[in-house]
């Protein structure tokens, strides 16, 4: 479909999905998972492109599992991000998601996962739009008492 749009001269939109993945911290607060992608040498929230015919919510859960090794429960939707990417414009739908269980194993896409409190996570994130997404998630988790957070 993207190739057909490209041939027709229409802007190409690359669909992706991801999560701000969180878990309870020992101090009663919470931590979020950040992934390091060696290909880009950046720290970000887990996300990735939709497979053909895949829904955004299914892709978000799959990408979290692939990139962090964690199964998750999706909570409330967060802001959708749009930004230029090679080949078109990427549109990423995000959710707040609670980590359930699993274990990280380094792979070709992600070589490290860090669980950080919101302040240190904001400092570690590479892209400003990811910091804004973290701020939105943090506001939800602190104001909403985590009931809609996965």
90-146 per-position pLDDT tens digit: 999 999 999 999 999 999 999 999 999 999 999 999 999 999 999 999 999 998 655
Q: Check residue 144 and give its pLDDT.
A: 61
Alpha-carbon gap, residue 87 to 18, rounded angstroms: 20
Say if CB 49 and CB 93 are below 8 A apart.
no
Beta bridge partners of 13: 89
Q: CATH homologous superfamily of domain 2-143?
A: Nucleoside Triphosphate Pyrophosphohydrolase (3.90.79.10)
Question: pLDDT tens digit string along 54-65?
Answer: 999 999 999 999
pTM exceeds cut of 0.75: yes
């Amino acid at each position: 479909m993207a190739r057909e749009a490209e041939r027709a001269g229409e802007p190409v939109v690359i669909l992706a999905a991801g999560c701000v993945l969180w878990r309870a911290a020992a101090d009663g607060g919470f931590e979020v998972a950040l992934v390091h992608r060696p290909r880009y040498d950046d720290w970000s929230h887990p996300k990735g492109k939709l497979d053909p015919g895949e829904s955004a919510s299914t892709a978000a859960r799959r990408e979290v599992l692939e990139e962090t090794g964690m199964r998750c429960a999706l909570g409330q939707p967060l802001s959708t991000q749009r930004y230029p990417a090679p080949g078109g414009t990427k549109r990423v739908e995000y959710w707040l998601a609670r980590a359930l269980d699993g274990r990280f194993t380094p792979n070709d896409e992600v070589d490290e996962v860090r669980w950080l409190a919101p302040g240190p996570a904001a400092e570690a994130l590479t892209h400003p739009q990811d910091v804004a997404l973290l701020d939105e998630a943090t506001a939800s988790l602190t104001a909403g008492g985590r009931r809609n957070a996965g």
